[in-house]
């Protein structure tokens, strides 16, 4: 098994790939910070997907709710 670095102008990740004997990419190596950011982004997207059918509220309503809970 060997590793192969691949850089992209549009992709800020500095990933490395594990390549099998046939030259196929079989795994990726990321810096822990990049991995953690990807997990956080995935979590955020899951929350958006769960809440996509909720009705939006106005800024005034949000401020009212925050005031009621002492969050402002």
Domain boundaries, the chain: 2-68
Any idea what the Cα angle at residue 6 is, between residues 39 and 2, rounded to 5°?
95
Query: What is the average pLDDT across 1-23?
Result: 67
pTM for the model stands at: 0.55
Q: What is the pLDDT of residues 47-64, one digit of tens each?
A: 999 999 999 999 999 999
């Amino acid at each position: 098994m060997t590793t192969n670095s691949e850089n992209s102008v549009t992709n800020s990740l500095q990933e490395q790939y594990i390549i099998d004997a046939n030259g196929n990419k079989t795994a990726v190596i990321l810096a822990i910070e990049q991995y953690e950011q990807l997990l956080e982004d995935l979590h955020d997207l899951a929350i958006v997907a769960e809440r996509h059918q909720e009705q939006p509220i106005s800024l005034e309503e949000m401020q009212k709710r925050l005031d009621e809970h002492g969050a402002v």
